[in-house]
Structure 1
Amino acid sequence: MGTVKAVCVGEKRGTQKTNVKTAEFAVNYGIVGDAHGGNWHRQVSLLSYEKIEAFQRGGADVLPGAFGENLIVEGFDFRSIAIGTRFQCNDVILELTQHGKQCHSPCQIYYKMGQCIMPTEGTFAQVLQGGTVSVGDEMRKLEERDDRFTAAIVTLSDSGFSGIREDKSGPLLKAILEENGYRVVESLLLPDEQSRIGEELVRLSDKREVNLIVTTGGTGFSPRDCTPEATLAVATRMAPGIAEAMRMHSMAITKRAMLSRGVSVIRGKTLIVNLPGSPKAVKESMEYIGDQFTHGLNVLLGRVSNCAR
Structure 2
Amino acid sequence: MEASIRGIIKAVCISEKKGTEKHPVNEIVLKENFGIEGDAHAGKWHRQVSLLSAEKVDEFNARGGDAAIGAFGENILVSGIDFKKLLVGSIMRSGEVVMKLTQIGKECHSHCTIFARVGDCIMPREGVFATVEHGGVLRSGMELEVTLPAADAPLRAAVMTLSDKGAAGERVDTSGPRAAELLAEAGYEIVEQVLLPDAQKKIERELMRLADSRQVDLIITTGGTGLSLRDVTPEATMAVATRNVPGIAETIRAESLKITRRAMLSRGVSVVRGQTLIVNLPGSTKAVEEALAIVLPQLEHGLRILKGSAHDCARK
Determine if contact 1:14/1:109 at 8 Å carries over to the other structure: no
Residue from 178, 198, 203 that aligns with 2:204: 198
Distance 1:144 1:241 in 2: 29
- Corresponding residue of 2:178: 172
1:149 and 2:155 aligned: yes
User: How far apart, in 1, do the equivalents of 2:74 and 2:114 lie?
Assistant: 11
Distance in 1 (alpha carbons) for counterparts of 2:100 and 2:215: 13
Question: Partner residue of 1:230?
Answer: 236
Matching residue of 2:3: none
Task: Note if contact 1:68-1:109 (Cα within 8 Å) is conserved in structure 2.
Answer: no
Deviation of the 1:108 alpha carbon: 3.3
Query: Offset of 1:212 from its aligned partner?
Result: 0.4
Determine if the alignment matches structure 1 residue 247 to structure 2 residue 253.
yes
Instruction: Output the TM-score relative to the length of structure 1.
Output: 0.96
Corresponding pairs, count: 309
3-state secondary structure, aligned to 1:35: coil
CA distance in 2, matches of 1:40, 1:82: 19
Query: Does the 8 Å contact 1:23/1:133 carry over to 2?
Result: yes
Work out whether 1:82 is the aligned partner of 2:90. no
Distance 1:142 1:20, change over 3 A: same
Residue-by-residue CA offset, 1:182-232 (whole Å, 9 max, x unaligned): 001111111110001001111111111110000001111111110000000
Q: What is the percentage of aligned positions where both structures have the same residue?
A: 54
Pick the aligned partner of 1:272 from 275, 278, 286.
278
Q: CA deviation at 1:143?
A: 5.9
Secondary structure of the structure 2 residue equivalent to 1:304 = coil
Distance in structure 2 (CA, Å) of the matches to 1:142 and 1:230: 35
In the TM superposition, residue 23 of structure 1 has moved relative to its aligned partner by: 1.0
CA distance in 1, matches of 2:44, 2:194: 14
In the other structure, the counterpart of 2:25 is 20
Once the two structures are TM-superposed, the CA of residue 135 in structure 1 deviates from its matched residue by 1.5
CA distance in 1, matches of 2:20, 2:199: 30
Match of 2:136 in 1: 131
Give, in angstroms, the shift of residue 266 of structure 1: 0.6
Identify if the C-alpha distance between structure 1 residues 170 and 199 changes in structure 2 by more than 3 Å, giving closer, same or farther: same
Q: Which position in structure 2 is the counterpart of 1:286?
A: 292
Which residue identity does 1:47 align to in structure 2?
L
Query: Any conservation in 2 of the 1:14–1:108 contact (CA below 8 Å)?
Result: no
| Alignment correspondent of 1:295 | 301
SS of match in other structure, 1:248: helix
Question: Which deviates more from structure 2 when the two are superposed, residues 94-103 or residues 111-120?
Answer: 111-120
Shift of residue 29, structure 1, vs aligned partner: 1.5
- The aligned residue for residue 70 of structure 1 is 75
1:52 aligns with 2:57: yes
Aligned to 1:160: 166
Are the aligned partners of 2:67 and 2:114 in contact in 1 as well (CA < 8 Å)? Answer: no
Contact 1:16 1:109 in 2 (8 A): no
Match of 1:186 among 186, 192, 205: 192
What residue is the counterpart of 1:29 in the other structure?
34
Letter in 2 for 1:23: I
Task: Give the alignment partner of residue 121 of structure 1, picking from 121, 126, 138.
Answer: 126
**1:113: Cα distance to partner?**
4.6
Shift of 1:11: 2.1
- In 2, Cα distance between the equivalents of 1:74 and 1:57? 16
- The separation in 1 between residues aligned to 2:116 and 2:92, in whole angstroms, is 32
Could you report, residue by residue, the CA deviation over 1:24-78 in whole angstroms, capped at 9, with x for unpaired residues? 1111121112121122211111101111111111123221110111100111111
Distance 1:113 1:35 in 2: 26
**Offset, 1:144:** 6.5
| SS of match in other structure, 2:201 | helix
Give the 3-state SS of the residue equivalent to 2:103 in structure 1. strand
Whole-angstrom distance in 2 between the partners of 1:163 and 1:143: 40
Does residue 1:305 correspond to 2:311, yes or no? yes
Q: Give the letter for the 1:37 counterpart.
A: A
Alpha-carbon separation, structure 1, partners of 2:274 and 2:65: 35
What is the CA RMSD across the aligned residues, in angstroms?
1.4
Q: Which runs of 5+ in 2 are unaligned?
A: 1-5
* Residues 129-183 of structure 1: per-residue CA shift (max 9 Å, x gap): 1111111111112366581010011111111111111111111111100100100
| 8 A contact 2:99–2:130 mirrored in 1 | yes
